[in-house]
Amino acid sequence: MTENVAAADPIAVANELRPVLLRLGRHLRREVHSLGVTGGQVTILARIGKRPGIGVIALAADEGVSAAAISTHVRRLRRAGLIEASRGADRRRVGLALTPDGDRVLRSVRSRRTAWLAARLRRLSPEELERIDAALDALRRVAGDAE
């Protein structure tokens, strides 16, 4: 870890941070396999959960993929009974929402991932945990979650 914050080189930090984030992401994705969903499906479920009634085109735009690709996932999630589609006042547009089973799966995924991560964080010293906590705001800005 870089001791002199002023001398930290963004390229060097990125080279150290990237593989750590990839490994963390891989571990967190593995936590969903026993629930019968993929990491990509969980991402779609979460997006629909945050924006009930979202359409396929908006969902595709949010995910940065084609509407055709999202439609394939939507069909699978509908067949699994995790989402439902309904037509609103504009009969051409279909809105997506989680079913009770979809909501249950999403809550289970979050719970399992949080438990996995919390178990690893408990292994750290209080000082290490404090440093991670202190870095969260900056990491949110890097991720584009806070401007």
Q: Is residue 117 part of a domain?
A: yes
Does residue 81 carry a pLDDT above 90?
Answer: yes
Instruction: pLDDT band for 146, please (50, 70, 90 cuts).
Output: low
Has residue 19 been placed in a domain? Answer: yes
Average pLDDT, stretch 76-100?
Answer: 88
Q: Is residue 2, in this structure, part of any structural domain at all?
A: no
Q: What is the CATH number of the domain that holds 100?
A: 1.10.10.10
**Is 3 contained in some domain?**
no
Q: What DSSP character marks residue 33? A: G
| 21, part of any domain | yes
In a domain, 47, yes or no: yes
Residue count of the chain: 147
In sign, the C-alpha dihedral spanning 41, 86, 56, 47 is negative
Do the beta carbons of residue 98 and residue 52 sit within 8 Å?
yes
Q: How many CB atoms lie within 10 A of CB 27?
A: 13
> DSSP states of 121-147 as a string?
HTTS-HHHHHHHHHHHHHHHHHHTS--
User: DSSP alpha helices (H): ranges in 2-147?
Assistant: 10-30, 39-50, 56-63, 67-79, 100-121, 126-143
Let me know if residue 1 belongs to a domain: no
Q: pLDDT tens across 16-68, in order? A: 999 999 999 999 988 888 888 988 899 999 999 999 999 999 999 998 999 99
Q: What is the mean pLDDT of residues 84-103?
A: 86
pTM reported for the whole predicted model: 0.79
- Percent of the chain having pLDDT more than 70? 91
Mean per-residue pLDDT over the chain, rounded = 90
* pLDDT greater than 80 at residue 92: no
Q: Which domain holds residue 52?
A: 9-143
Please give the pLDDT value at position 147.
47
Tell me the CA distances in angstroms from 107 to 23, 67, 98, 111, one per residue in order: 23, 26, 12, 6
Please say whether the beta carbons of 56 and 96 come within 8 A.
yes
Cβ 49 vs Cβ 103: under 8 Å = yes
The answer to whether residue 25 sits within a structural domain is yes
* Structural domains counted in the chain: 1
